[in-house]
């Protein structure tokens, strides 16, 4: 495996992905993500952004290549160790994927409950988080009773509530107004400053400009390019958790 380095949080090496017998949606994708990095993944619709993110949040196994995450081989990792890795990742799904029968509060609390956090330690952080995203008065509403933007904010709150080591967000500001988009981006930056590696898939060029220190990975027809040196080793802006803190 190339680019083996201490401290990398994710390492893809010649990864390819195809669904069924179709052509590859990702080809020879190789990159390394470091702790504390802020990465944008860009590309046109159908370029493979969501597929790449699925590999990142362990919802999909690649057809070929090697993936290391948090120091473990994510491809040969025994199935019973996957939950441990997934709990270190926060995910904002493009289509939100809120649990329809749970309230906004319970959706946001879900990662904490899954991780076995005591109920008495859940109420305050979840309430605070919902207040921060402007949904304090909607915490008992079901997803179907929330607007698209509100659902997106619940999805983001759920993704960050457990302070993940890596946050993966698929078009996280697609359904919110510009002010809320900026606010959410500030949340991601705050998390990033606390050491969370952030990967945001977007085709919104305005968003890229708002995070000057970010690194950009561009996908084009399943192939990755590197306009800001994000994929270089060492990366253009090498940052470790210690440096960030």
Partner 1 sequence: MALRLPAFLSRNADAELIPQGRLSGPMPWVIAIMVALTVIAAAAGLAFSNTARNASDALTGGVTVQIVNANPVERERQAQAAVQALRSTPGVVEASLVSQAEIDRLIEPWLGTSVEGDGAIPVPALIDARLRDPVNGEMLGQLRRTLRPVAPSARVDAQSTWLKPVFSAIGTMRWLSLALVGVLAFALAAAVLLAVRNALGTNRETIEIVHLLGGTDQQIARVFQRAIGFDAAGGGAIGLALGLVVVLLLGRQFGGLGAGLVSSGALGWADWILLALIPLAGVGLAMFTARQTVVRALRKML
Q: Which residues contact 227 (CB under 8 A, 6 or more apart)?
A: 216, 218
At closest approach, how far in Å is the CB of 90 from partner 1?
9
Q: Tell me the window of 16-24, 97-105, 139-147, 212-220 that interacts with partner 1 (CB under 8 A).
A: 97-105
User: Is 102 or 208 the residue whose CB approaches partner 1 more closely?
Assistant: 102
Does position 5 interact with partner 1 (CB under 8 A)? The reply is no
User: Is 115 or 190 the residue whose CB approaches partner 1 more closely?
Assistant: 115
Give the whole-angstrom CA distance, residue 87 versus residue 220.
30
Which residues from 102-161 bind partner 1, rule CB under 8 A?
102, 106, 110-111, 113-116, 119, 158
User: Is 77 or 244 the residue whose CB approaches partner 1 more closely?
Assistant: 77
Q: Tokens 């990465």 sit at which residue?
A: 39
At closest approach, how far in Å is the CB of 110 from partner 1?
6
Q: Tell me the window of 17-25, 37-45, 75-83, 183-191 that interacts with partner 1 (CB under 8 A).
A: 75-83
Does position 60 interact with partner 1 (CB under 8 A)? The reply is yes
User: Is 83 or 148 the residue whose CB approaches partner 1 more closely?
Assistant: 83
Q: What does R_g of the chain's alpha carbons equal in angstroms?
A: 18
User: Is 119 or 137 the residue whose CB approaches partner 1 more closely?
Assistant: 119
Give the whole-angstrom CA distance, residue 180 versus residue 123.
24
Q: Tokens 């991780």 sit at which residue?
A: 115
Q: Which spans of this chain sit near partner 1 (rule: CB under 8 A)?
A: 57-61, 79-80, 82-84, 86-87, 91, 97, 99-102, 106, 110-111, 113-116, 119, 158
């Amino acid at each position: 495996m190339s680019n083996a380095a201490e401290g990398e949080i994710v390492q893809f090496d010649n990864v390819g992905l195809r669904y069924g017998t179709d052509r590859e949606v990702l080809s020879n994708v190789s990159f390394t993500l470091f702790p504390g990095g802020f990465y944008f993944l860009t590309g046109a619709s159908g370029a493979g952004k969501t597929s790449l993110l699925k590999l990142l949040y362990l919802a999909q196994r690649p057809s070929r290549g090697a993936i290391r995450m948090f120091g473990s081989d994510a491809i040969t990792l025994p199935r019973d160790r996957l939950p441990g890795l997934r709990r270190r990742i926060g995910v904002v799904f493009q289509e939100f994927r809120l649990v329809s029968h749970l309230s906004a509060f319970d959706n946001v609390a879900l990662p904490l409950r899954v991780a076995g956090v005591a109920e008495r330690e859940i109420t305050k952080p979840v309430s605070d988080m919902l207040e921060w995203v402007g949904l304090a008065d909607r915490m008992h509403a079901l997803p179907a009773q929330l607007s698209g933007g509100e659902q997106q904010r619940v999805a983001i709150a759920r993704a960050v509530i457990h302070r993940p080591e890596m946050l993966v967000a698929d078009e996280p500001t697609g359904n919110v107004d510009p002010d809320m988009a900026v606010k959410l981006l500030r949340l991601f930056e705050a998390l990033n400053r606390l050491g969370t590696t952030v990967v945001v898939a977007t085709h919104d060029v305005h968003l890229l400009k708002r995070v000057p220190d970010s690194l950009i990975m561009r996908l084009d027809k399943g192939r990755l390019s590197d306009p800001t040196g994000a994929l270089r080793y060492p990366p253009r802006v090498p940052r470790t958790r210690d440096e960030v803190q």
